[in-house]
Chains A and B, each alone.
Chain A
């Protein structure tokens, strides 16, 4: 592919996105320290919830409150899961019994009962103009 054709493709792509996609701005409160990253996974269906990620985002952890922005999210219904990867190993650590040992949260601050919440509990509407959502790790 020649450079100008790539540029043209990208331009078309972005233009089409811009028409009905916005930025999802997630403010994460209760971040315990400045270490590692806040990592977010976005899902768009009950079937794919916690299985098929449609977009991901990450930002360096800032003590207290951290903002992660996921760009160009098409309008629709979504749920996200996020965790504070404090040791920067790229995964959510669990202890020997399989219990999460790093802080986590779901959209709507949804919490499960002996397991993760359902997509319905975590579901929120994403308008074309974008959205700003706050969740807490506490």
Chain B
């Protein structure tokens, strides 16, 4: 209290300070179900109820040296009490494990039992603010009450973490996927935002960050291989909006900050408060914020033309420059994603995004880009090259012939030559993130597999797909087909056994 008025400065969520009334979202529910009745492929964004477990039927030949757990996470519950969330990022985390052992593939999925999931299940309706939908039916103490634990599932130091980005990691059991609880790395960072995209150092340990849009603060974390928090810092970054991912090189942490203004309207959700500031006469650039890895201090800020960013690939030091991959989206891609929840897909416009490699020249202060691939998303590299020079980048894309944006193609791009090795699943298919998995003792970035999930929307079932990372165009080595549809995941990681 400074004894007298200890909460004057609000509860520290001041910049996020919202109050407002809950808005009924029955209209989104009605529109989605009307669209789903016309187009069964939208079932990919349908609501999930309860647990899933099943044995997949394997087509093709599973490589004998690919054994382990493929952990994935994405939003599963979008609907409750006749209401439906407005934004894809809002749903409760449904964690999944594909287990590959002895030539068999099993799947198991269940909800992360967060505070929010339990309270709202009990109440039979949404209670707390979600990223893109404002509910204010019940008050709460801190960010973790709103934690959806829905973005990534990360094996680290023998444990498994369901990650969100506005609050703590949630620990789940690596075998049963049962929720163990909120992870507090150290008391003084309790309930702080911890992003869903930590970067695992091939030598052990991890780097991560947390952003509070509107609070203009970026928290940085360095954690050792045993899970001990070694170092933290908070950087003041003016006009900080949603920062979803970053990249780490041997010497730097790279953040890309898209131009958004944060509206101060307390009745709006966090997503709705993001106002695109990259168009018109007062357009602001996208900033590339470079932080020194050894001190966690700000080193330099570069500018790129105004574009939206969700995901980065890898970063590495190239002489006096730092290079990193990033997917740049034209305009306000954040709002565009919202329409999926009411059953409207985005147009597959050719110029809507591109994957590029950015070169940051510290001497001139200039950032230059080199095109890697057209409209695409979900960039990943082999885990053994994180922070080092890499030559391959996995990406998903939507075939040009598609009228609507449906990711149906997996790609491995040679970042040196620009050559693309692709496989298109084709009409009626939608692919989810594919990750690169090295063979034991891999000698190159193509010495391994590209593993992911594809949804066969005509049959309403999901499959795990396995490609040779060096020969994607030859088609999948194996497809493991489930008798049911799994909730669409955002991100995941393969843990070899």
Q: Are A92 and B139 in contact (CB under 8 A)?
A: no
Task: State how many angstroms separate the Cβ of A99 from the closest Cβ of chain B.
Answer: 4
- A88: interface (CB < 8 Å): no
Within 8 A of B (CB), among A52-98: 52-53, 56, 81, 83, 90-92, 94-98
Q: How far is the CA of A104 from the CA of B190 in the complex (A)?
A: 14
- B313: interface (CB < 8 Å): no
Q: Are A92 and B16 in contact (CB under 8 A)?
A: no
Task: State how many angstroms separate the Cβ of B343 from the closest Cβ of chain A.
Answer: 29
- B37: interface (CB < 8 Å): no
Q: Are A113 and B7 in contact (CB under 8 A)?
A: no
Within 8 A of B (CB), among A109-126: 110-118, 121
Q: Which of B59-67, B140-148, B420-428, B438-446 contacts A (4 or more CB under 8 A)?
A: B140-148
Q: Are B232 and A116 in contact (CB under 8 A)?
A: no
Q: Are B13 and A114 in contact (CB under 8 A)?
A: yes
B 186-198 to A, binary, CB cutoff 8 A, 1 in contact else 0: 0111111100000
Question: Which residues of chain B are within 8 angstroms of A94 by Cβ–Cβ distance?
Answer: 12
Question: Which residues of chain A are within 8 angstroms of B192 by Cβ–Cβ distance?
Answer: 95-97, 99
Question: Which residues of chain A are within 8 angstroms of B294 by Cβ–Cβ distance?
Answer: none
Closest A residue to B22 by CB, please name it: A113
Q: How far is the CA of A104 from the CA of B232 in the complex (A)?
A: 25
Q: How far is the CA of A39 from the CA of B4 in the complex (A)?
A: 10
B 50-91 to A, binary, CB cutoff 8 A, 1 in contact else 0: 000000000000000000000000000000000000000000
Question: Which residues of chain A are within 8 angstroms of B12 by Cβ–Cβ distance?
Answer: 94-95, 97-100
Closest A residue to B145 by CB, please name it: A111
Task: State how many angstroms separate the Cβ of B203 from the closest Cβ of chain A.
Answer: 27
Question: Which residues of chain B are within 8 angstroms of A128 by Cβ–Cβ distance?
Answer: none
Q: How far is the CA of A52 from the CA of B1 in the complex (A)?
A: 12
User: Of B7, B18, B138, which is within 8 A of A104 by CB?
Assistant: B7
- B356: interface (CB < 8 Å): no
Q: Are A92 and B7 in contact (CB under 8 A)?
A: yes
- A51: interface (CB < 8 Å): yes
- A129: interface (CB < 8 Å): no
Q: A95-B190, A97-B193, A99-B11 are in contact. Are A115 and B18 (CB under 8 A)?
A: yes
- B288: interface (CB < 8 Å): no
User: Of B3, B212, B233, which is within 8 A of A39 by CB?
Assistant: B3
- A16: interface (CB < 8 Å): no
Q: How far is the CA of A42 from the CA of B141 in the complex (A)?
A: 20
- A50: interface (CB < 8 Å): yes
- B155: interface (CB < 8 Å): no
User: Of A97, A113, A116, which is within 8 A of B219 by CB?
Assistant: A97
- Max count, chain B CB within 10 A of own CB: residue among A91, A94, A113, A115: A113
Question: Which residues of chain B are within 8 angstroms of A50 by Cβ–Cβ distance?
Answer: 5-8
Say whether chain B's binding surface is mostly helix, strand, loop, or mixed.
loop
Closest B residue to A106 by CB, please name it: B7
Question: Which residues of chain A are within 8 angstroms of B215 by Cβ–Cβ distance?
Answer: 97-98
Question: Which residues of chain A are within 8 angstroms of B142 by Cβ–Cβ distance?
Answer: 99-100
Closest A residue to B234 by CB, please name it: A96
Q: How far is the CA of A121 from the CA of B19 in the complex (A)?
A: 12
Q: Are A41 and B190 in contact (CB under 8 A)?
A: no
Q: How far is the CA of A97 from the CA of B236 in the complex (A)?
A: 10
Q: Are B139 and A111 in contact (CB under 8 A)?
A: yes
- B210: interface (CB < 8 Å): yes
Task: State how many angstroms separate the Cβ of A138 from the closest Cβ of chain B.
Answer: 9
Closest B residue to A138 by CB, please name it: B141
- B289: interface (CB < 8 Å): no
- Max count, chain B CB within 10 A of own CB: residue among A81, A91, A97, A112: A97
Q: A97-B215, A99-B143, A99-B192 are in contact. Are A113 and B187 (CB under 8 A)?
A: no
Q: Are B8 and A112 in contact (CB under 8 A)?
A: no
Question: Which residues of chain B are within 8 angstroms of A117 by Cβ–Cβ distance?
Answer: 139
Task: State how many angstroms separate the Cβ of B377 from the closest Cβ of chain A.
Answer: 29
Q: A97-B234, A101-B187, A116-B11 are in contact. Are A83 and B1 (CB under 8 A)?
A: yes
Question: Which residues of chain A are within 8 angstroms of B20 by Cβ–Cβ distance?
Answer: 113
Q: Are B3 and A112 in contact (CB under 8 A)?
A: no
Q: Are A99 and B1 in contact (CB under 8 A)?
A: no
Q: Are B6 and A114 in contact (CB under 8 A)?
A: no
Q: How far is the CA of A107 from the CA of B11 in the complex (A)?
A: 16
Q: Are B2 and A90 in contact (CB under 8 A)?
A: yes
Q: How far is the CA of A111 from the CA of B402 in the complex (A)?
A: 48
B 117-129 to A, binary, CB cutoff 8 A, 1 in contact else 0: 0000000000001
Residues on A lying within 8 angstroms of B by beta carbon are 39, 41, 50-53, 56, 81, 83, 90-92, 94-101, 104, 110-118, 121
Sample of 17 A–B contacts (CB below 8 Å): A91-B3, A92-B1, A95-B188, A95-B191, A96-B188, A97-B12, A97-B217, A97-B234, A98-B14, A99-B13, A101-B187, A101-B191, A111-B139, A111-B141, A113-B139, A114-B18, A118-B19
